[in-house]
């Protein structure tokens, strides 16, 4: 049995000084941006890809922690935040569209994730579904519905290899990658990203409430169909941040 140290191995935090509610961007530079949407934001610390700020919503401590790119570091953040007292973890990130209805600038709320990652297999058999907690999902949908930005709710694909998606024909396993991508399109998968399947599965194993919302950077299927240019037009993730913060507010009010 692992004996937990007073301070985690990786994230710059201590037990009792992390909020029950946590927002998880990937990029460290987005942490302060999110924290400024909270009341009384304060810098906590930074180590490796993990940067942490705290703030409050309706008097409740809320933590913002970056996770870097991909499942392994997202799992480390989730584990160590949970060890420090976190209970609700919401991923706030970016994605690339797959379903042609998903346009650049749209929001995507994950109701489930294709487990095309390696980390989640260390937690559960591949047959186990990667899904968010229904309370977090409903809070995100409610916040998005009130926010005005276009949004979609459905399954996303979580992968480990960025270039396996963007340059599959160069890979020795090109046939397999292209076959899987065709399957995701036929199944109506909305978008591709790199963390939610891990977060949802770790959350299930640890008894955490998880959710995920993404800002769509672009959609390669729309580009291939001649519907969009190759230029990424909407990099600002402000609308996703707004929805995530409002979802936390809804969850806090529901608890009270």
For the segment 190-211, what is each residue's pLDDT rounded down to a tens digit? 999 999 999 999 999 999 999 9
Cα three-residue angle 194-195-197, rounded to 5 degrees: 105
Kindly tell me if the per-residue pLDDT of 1 is higher than 70. Answer: no
Higher pLDDT, 4 or 131: 131
* Residue 250 within a domain: yes
pTM of the full structure = 0.95
Q: How far apart are the first and last CA of the chain?
A: 35
Would you say 109 and 153 are in contact if contact means Cβ atoms under 8 Å apart? Answer: yes
Q: How confident is the model at residue 233 (pLDDT cuts 50, 70, 90)?
A: low
CATH code where residue 126 lies: 3.40.50.1580
Q: Residue with structure tokens 């963390």?
A: 195
* Residue 115 within a domain: yes
* Total domain count, the chain: 1
d(C-alpha 196, C-alpha 192), whole Å:
10
Kindly tell me if the per-residue pLDDT of 188 is higher than 60. Answer: yes
* Residue 11 within a domain: no
* Residue 82 within a domain: yes
* Residue 230 within a domain: yes
Tell me the CB-side half-sphere exposure of residue 169, using CA atoms within 13 A. 0
d(C-alpha 5, C-alpha 116), whole Å:
32
* Residue 14 within a domain: no
Kindly tell me if the per-residue pLDDT of 2 is higher than 60. Answer: no
* Residue 156 within a domain: yes
d(C-alpha 113, C-alpha 155), whole Å:
5
* Residue 224 within a domain: yes
Beta strand pairing status for 60-65 and 50-57? antiparallel
| Ramachandran region, residue 40 (left: φ > 0; alpha: ψ -120 to 50; beta: rest) | left
Domain that holds residue 25: 21-255
Would you say 211 and 247 are in contact if contact means Cβ atoms under 8 Å apart? Answer: yes
Segment 57-84 mean pLDDT: 97
Rg (CA), the chain: 18
Helix (H/G/I), strand (E/B), else coil: 203: helix
pLDDT in tens, 82-100: 999 999 999 999 999 999 9
Cα three-residue angle 206-211-212, rounded to 5 degrees: 130
């Amino acid at each position: 049995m692992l004996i937990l140290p007073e301070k985690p191995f990786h994230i710059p935090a201590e037990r009792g000084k992390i909020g029950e509610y946590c927002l998880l961007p990937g990029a460290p530079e987005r942490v302060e941006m999110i924290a400024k949407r909270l009341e009384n934001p304060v810098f906590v610390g930074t180590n490796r890809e993990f940067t942490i700020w705290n703030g409050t919503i309706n008097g409740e401590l809320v933590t913002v922690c970056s996770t870097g790119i991909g499942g392994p570091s997202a799992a480390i953040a989730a584990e160590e935040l949970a060890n420090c007292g976190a209970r609700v973890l919401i991923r706030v990130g970016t994605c690339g569209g797959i379903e042609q209805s998903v346009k650049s600038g749209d929001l995507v709320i994950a109701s489930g994730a294709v487990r095309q990652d390696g980390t989640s297999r260390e937690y559960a058999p591949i047959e186990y579904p990667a899904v968010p907690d229904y309370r977090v999902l409903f809070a995100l949908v409610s916040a998005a519905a009130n926010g005005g930005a276009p949004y979609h709710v459905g399954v996303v694909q979580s992968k480990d290899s960025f270039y396996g998606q963007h340059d599959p024909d160069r890979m020795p396993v090109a046939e397999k990658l292209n076959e899987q991508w065709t399957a995701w399109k036929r199944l109506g998968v909305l978008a591709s990203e790199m963390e939610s399947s891990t977060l949802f599965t770790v959350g299930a194993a640890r008894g955490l409430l998880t959710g995920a919302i993404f800002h769509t950077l672009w959609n390669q299927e729309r580009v291939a169909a001649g519907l969009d240019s190759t230029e990424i037009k909407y990099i600002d993730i402000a609308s996703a941040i707004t929805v995530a913060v409002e979802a936390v507010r809804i969850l806090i009010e529901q608890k009270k």
